[in-house]
Chains A and B, each alone.
Chain A
Amino acid sequence: MIKNFFESIGKYFLFLQMVFRKPEKWKIFWRQFINESDKLIISSILLVGVISVFIGGVLVIQTASNLENPIIDKMYIGYMVRESLILEFCSTMIALILAGKMGSNIASEIGSMRITEQIDAMDMMGVNSAGFLVLPKITAATILSPLLMLLSLGLGLFGGWIVVEFTQIIPPASYITGIKAFYNGFYIFYSCFKISLFCFMISSIAAFNGYNAKGGSLGVGRSSTASIVTTSILILMSDLIVTQLMLY
């Protein structure tokens, strides 16, 4: 088992070496990059948006119910909601959601291409199949995922505002003051960096599992499940490490 683990790590880095070879034609790469941006990022906007609005609202209610002390200014509720969204929800939680959506999409797409010999056909033409299929996915996911994080932040705060406005759980002016208070730009950078790293892991690990799928449709299913489980664990582990390195 330990041997298999180290063997897989070695194969993963060899796979990345193939992926990051110079593309045969940049024109084809950019066209694929646009396609993958649409498939992986644009198509995730609705899911991320809906979840963020609801989580923003829930965070306001939960924080307000835990801060009923009259000494503490109500604006801190807005402040804490914003910090929770920036530091953890908009990067880590969104990445875990994307691990399911994006990871299964990539692993099953590449896996079914593997078992139907489409990848062999590309290799036989002399096309670097890993570079053609995977590089645009990794670059689109890594470069554009911070946009999803920023969108999630905006919609999360908006969701909180809707709850405040309609339930008057705290004065709306205090909520607005809170979400503007003690702003630290580095936290935005930290969160963008985290989601980029997580999306790199999601796309590359899912592609690796799909690329090495074996055994028909069952194999595709297995590779899809393996990529979601592996990336979910790795996201949580690397969240801890990155947080320790960047915030402490």
Chain B
Amino acid sequence: MIKVEHLYKSFDGKPVLNDISVEYEPGKCNMIIGASGSGKTVLLKNLIGLLEPDSGEICYGDMKLSEMSYKQKKNLRQKIGVLFQGSALFDFATVIENVMFPMEFFTDWSAVQRRERARYCLEKVNVVGSDDKYPNELSGGMQKRVGIARAIALNPEYLFCDEPNSGLDPYTSILIDRLISDLTKEFNMTTVVNTHDMNSILEIGDKIAFISNGSMLWQGDRHTILQTECKELRDFVCANTLARNIIEGK
């Protein structure tokens, strides 16, 4: 469980996040949605500790992120898997080395055990036979899958995905969404997905938080989002033709 309480963040005096409070539950795909520039990525970076909030609290279980020591943060980070927008695979390592990378640092497994675990994770995301390829030899969809395999390599309790569908075709997007959803349920992870893709929201959004201009305007799930009374969210949702037709009863 991740709890965010009254989070504020600004850059050079310009507020980017205003009084954000939300809870993320395990075993669910928790989504942060909003238009580009609404503050989604800033919120995600605050959640994973890459940015520090001006005020407010982020709690992982009973532990407050702001009160954790360097060692505690380091231990927490070993329980976190992150899929970055551009996958962020290491250029200097092959596919299998990328997945084995966190294991090398934080486990005492032998090389054979690490390789087996990496192969298992790659099979989970349907990447087979590309072990020795380098990231620049893979398509965007494959890179995302390898990114997910690396993120789940150490059985994380928390999985964060920053716009996992950006730059992908609709078919691959749905596959990635379902993969994230299935892994979340299978490993009972607390997953937070940052997206503005309506297909993803309607496909896997177990819990949805809508952000506009740095403020959280609505919370709900994929079943209630189409009945929303929030004007900003309706405008956001109705940018998608299918959703607009459903809302307007066509």
Report the nearest B residue to A115, measured CB to CB: B86
* Cβ contact within 8 Å between B105 and A117: no
Interface residue B77 (Cβ < 8 Å from any Cβ of A):
yes
With A124-B50, A126-B78 known to touch, is A118 a contact of B105 (CB < 8 Å)? Answer: no
* Cβ contact within 8 Å between A25 and B85: no
Of A28, A112, A123, the contact of B105 (CB 8 Å cutoff): A28
* Cβ contact within 8 Å between B84 and A117: yes
| Interchain residue pairs A-B with the least CB separation, the first 5 | A126-B77, A121-B88, A117-B88, A117-B84, A124-B82
Q: Would you mind naming 30 contact pairs between A and B with Cβ atoms under 8 Å apart?
A: A25-B104, A112-B91, A113-B91, A116-B86, A116-B88, A116-B91, A117-B84, A117-B85, A118-B89, A118-B91, A120-B50, A120-B88, A121-B88, A121-B90, A123-B50, A123-B77, A124-B49, A124-B50, A124-B77, A124-B80, A124-B82, A125-B77, A125-B78, A125-B102, A125-B105, A125-B106, A126-B74, A126-B75, A126-B105, A127-B102
Interface residue B101 (Cβ < 8 Å from any Cβ of A):
yes
A127 CA / B102 CA spacing, docked (Å): 8
Residues of A within 8 A of B78 (CB): 125-126
Report the nearest B residue to A24, measured CB to CB: B105
B interface size (C-beta, 8 A): 23
Report the nearest B residue to A21, measured CB to CB: B70
A125 CA / B89 CA spacing, docked (Å): 13
A120 CA / B160 CA spacing, docked (Å): 13
Report the nearest A residue to B154, measured CB to CB: A125
A interface size (C-beta, 8 A): 15
Residues of B within 8 A of A124 (CB): 48-50, 77, 80, 82
* Cβ contact within 8 Å between A118 and B90: yes
- Chain B positions 69-103 with a Cβ under 8 Å from a chain A Cβ: 73-78, 80, 82, 84-86, 88-91, 101-102
* Cβ contact within 8 Å between A121 and B74: no
1/0 contact string of A104-130 vs chain B (CB within 8 Å): 000000001100111011011111000
A40 CA / B95 CA spacing, docked (Å): 25
Of B49, B73, B85, B88, the contact of A118 (CB 8 Å cutoff): B88
A124 CA / B71 CA spacing, docked (Å): 13
Query: Most chain-A CB neighbours within 10 Å: which of B49, B76, B85, B101?
Result: B101
Residues of B within 8 A of A126 (CB): 73-78, 105-106
Report the nearest A residue to B160, measured CB to CB: A124
Of A28, A112, A121, the contact of B84 (CB 8 Å cutoff): A121
1/0 contact string of B42-80 vs chain A (CB within 8 Å): 000000111000000000000000000000011111101
